[in-house]
Amino acid sequence: MNSLIWYEEQWRKKKQSEHKCPLCGMTYSGHGNNPYPFQVENCCNNCNAKFVIPMRMFLNNKTPKYAVVFDTNGNIRPVKPKGDKFTLEELQSLVGGLIGVYPRRFNNRLVICNEEGLIRRLKKNEIFKKYSLKSLVGDIVLCPPNLFD
C-alpha cells in the first residue's frame, strides 16, 4: 500500500512540473529555459535550440553579415545578401511582395515586411509577435542597418 501512495505522489509532482511552451505549444517538464530575447515565459529545450540561441547570437554580433527571416510557419532562418548589401529584389523575394520598412527599429535592426500584407490578408506572424510584441503579418525580415541600402 505504501508503494501505491509513493507512485501517486510521484505522478502528482510530475504533473505539477509540466508546463506548456509559449513558443511551440508543446508540453515540457522541469524548469524550462530563459527565453530572452523572446517576450514570453520559460520555453522548452527544443525552442531554446531552434529560436532562442540563434537570436541571441544574432543580437550579440555587433556587425552581423546576415539578416533573420521570421516566416509565418513559425520558423526563423538566417539569410545573407548576395553582395555586400541586400538588393530590393532580394528583400521583395524574402517578404513575398513589395517591401515596407516598419517605422521603428527593433533592437537597432530594421523591420522589413510586406507592404500589402493586410490587403492580401497574409497570415499573422506569431513567432515575430512573441519576439517583438509587434503584431505584423506575412514573413518579416530583421535586418541590420549595415546590410540595407
pLDDT, tens digit, 9 for 90 and up, residues 68-111: 999 999 999 999 999 999 999 999 999 999 999 999 888 889 99
pLDDT, tens digit, 9 for 90 and up, residues 49-70: 999 999 998 888 888 899 999 9
pLDDT tops 80 at residue 7:
no
Q: Give the pTM.
A: 0.81
User: For the residues of 49-79, what is the DSSP string, one character each?
Assistant: IIIIHHHHHHHH-SS-S-EEEE-TTS-EEEE
